[in-house]
Structures are given as structure tokens and as C-alpha cells.
Amino acid sequence: MSQRAFSKFALATFIASALIVLSGAAVRLTGSGLGCPDWPSCYRDRLTSSLSLHPLVEFSNRLVTVVFFIVLVATVIASYLRVQKRRDLIRLSWILVLGVVGDAVLGGIVVYTHLNPWLVATHMWLSLGMLVVAIVLHHRSRYDYSPGARADIASPPTRRAAIVLCGLFFLVIAAGTGATGTGPHAGGSQGQDVAKRLPIALKDAVFAHSALAMVFLGMVLATFLILESTQGPARLRRGARTLLYVALAQGAIGFIQYATHLPAWLVELHVLGATSLTIGVTNFQLGQVARDKEPLVDDNSYEATSSSSS
């Protein structure tokens, strides 16, 4: 397994991680959270779903999880077959496998607790956490992390700002899932058990989420201005600029969706924005340390070197 080939496996894992977040949100927003009343089969005596909308949506999300798991298993195998085996890549691949298993089990518990809002929020956090790990895996697969390799901190002030951004973004996501837990999209539909909502007024939860989002946006803007005024590294300026644009778009979507009484399609777009911000914040954090690309090793030359050294 060449280094470039493994990076493609890591990229596939990264993409699948993002898709699982969006498909999970689609289940809730279409009211299909209880479309399959059992787990892991859709019904107690039947593995697959019926041809009704809600069972099909919920079962499709489970199939996406299965595909994701297959991609992860392939990535784990590839990490062991990589021409230059690295423990960090193997470890990250296994963390993702354990994460998707945990997420699937948690999804089953969510079904049997009739969409408990605390568990639904945890389900979202875990899915975004796996996305972060997948991004790190893809990044590390392309750069040299060997002992003694170049690891230059581009700008100590912006590195501290990046850490603050990560903390603020976590709070924004936590408050956002709290707002969702009080809103109209519980994940169930008519004819099913009514899912409980968090004991918080929607307007209060939205206010807390919006306030934290404004602080986050201000921090992104300040970081962008600092990098531009000090002529920071080009990659960091690009990252901050992209983060600023996405954060502005996400804020606009959030305002419009609340003003229009939370239509499902806009909420899904908001989830897409949260996924994009997760990618942007993580990449901005990883970009704070300048590293060289990992030297490519040819399969034959690596085998020859290994044979001669042994």
C-alpha cells in the first residue's frame, strides 16, 4: 500500500464521516427517527424496512452507517499494509472504528428511549467528533510526523487564537444541539410516540446559541484581521478567510431559519454549515504548525531497504 493510496482511503473516511452527520440530521428533520422501531433490524421480525417514507429514511441512514463501517475497516487494513507503517495512523483508524460502533449502539439506545433529546444531542456530538478524527487522519497521512521532522509554529498569537476558537466552537455546537432539543424537530412524526423536549424555552435556547455564535464570529473576524495586518502565512490567511465566510453564511442561515419558524430544509442547511465549520476550525488548528510533506517511498525500494537492513 503506497502512501498516496492510503491518503485516498483516509480521504474516503473523511467524506463518509461528513455524510453520516448529514444523513443523521435528515432522519430527524423528516420525522423518521422512529421509522424503524427496533434495532439493529428495522422490525423485530424483519431486517429491512417497509416501503413507507419514514422507515425507508431511517433504514437508509443505517445503511450509510454500514457503508461507513466498511470504509473504516478497509482503512484499518490499509494502515497495516502501508509501505511505511505509522502507529499514529493505525491508532486513529482504530479510534474511528470504535467511534462508529459506539455511535451505532447509541443510535439504537436513542430509538429505544423514544428519541431522548439528551441522547440525540450526544449522538450529534459523537458524529462530529468522529469527523474531527477523520480530518486529523487525512491530514497526518500527508505530512511528516516522524521524530525530528520540521514542526514550526507559524504564529504563536494565532495558535492561541485557534485554541480559543476550538473551545468557542464546541460551546456553539453544544448550545445549538440544545436549541434543537427544544425546537419542533424532535425526530418523530404523527402516529408515533411524542418525543420529549428539553425543559428550556426555545427562545432562551436560541438566544444562548446566538450569543455564543456572535462571540465565535467576532473571534474569527479578529483572527482574520490580525493575520491580514501582520501578513501571516498565506495558508493561515486563506483558512481564516474561508472560516469567516462560512461563519457569516451560517449566521445568516440561523437568523433566517428562526425568523421563518424553522423549516426543515433550512435546518438541514444549518447542519451542513455546522459540518463545514467543523472542517474549517479543525483544519485551521492543524495549519498552525508548518510541516513538510512526507517523503514518498517506493514500494520496491522500501522492500529492498528493509531486506538489506535486516
Evaluate whether residue 64 is within a structural domain: yes
Alpha carbon distance 38, 50 (integer Å): 13
**Site of grid cell 538489506:** 308
E-strand stretches of 67-203: 152-153
Instruction: Give pLDDT tens digits for 151-196.
Output: 888 778 888 889 999 999 999 999 999 888 888 776 665 555 556 7
Residue 201: all three cell numbers together: 424555552
The C-alpha angle 41, 272, 58, rounded to 5 degrees, equals 15
Evaluate whether residue 307 is within a structural domain: no
- Say which residue, 64 or 216, is predicted with more confidence: 216
Mean pLDDT for the stretch of residues 75-82: 95
Evaluate whether residue 265 is within a structural domain: yes
Say how far residue 247 (Cα) sits from the centre of its chain. Answer: 16
Alpha carbon distance 70, 48 (integer Å): 19
Alpha carbon distance 67, 60 (integer Å): 11
Which DSSP helix (H) or strand (E) runs through 191? Answer: none
pTM of the model: 0.88
Residue 301 has pLDDT above 50, yes or no: no
pLDDT of residue 262: 86
Residue 231: all three cell numbers together: 501578513
Mean pLDDT for the stretch of residues 201-214: 93
Evaluate whether residue 257 is within a structural domain: yes
Could you tell me if 304 and 162 are in contact, meaning their C-beta atoms sit under 8 angstroms apart? no
Evaluate whether residue 45 is within a structural domain: yes
Residue 255 has pLDDT above 60, yes or no: yes
SS3 21: helix
Evaluate whether residue 202 is within a structural domain: yes
Say how far residue 139 (Cα) sits from the centre of its chain. Answer: 14
Q: Single out the residue of 154, 137, 156 nearest to residue 145, CA to CA.
A: 137
Domain that holds residue 43: 3-144+151-301
**Quick one: angle between helices 117-142 and 264-286, nearest 10?**
40
Q: Single out the residue of 46, 39, 43, 44 nearest to residue 62, CA to CA.
A: 39
pLDDT of residue 86: 93
State how many domains the chain has. Answer: 1
Evaluate whether residue 309 is within a structural domain: no
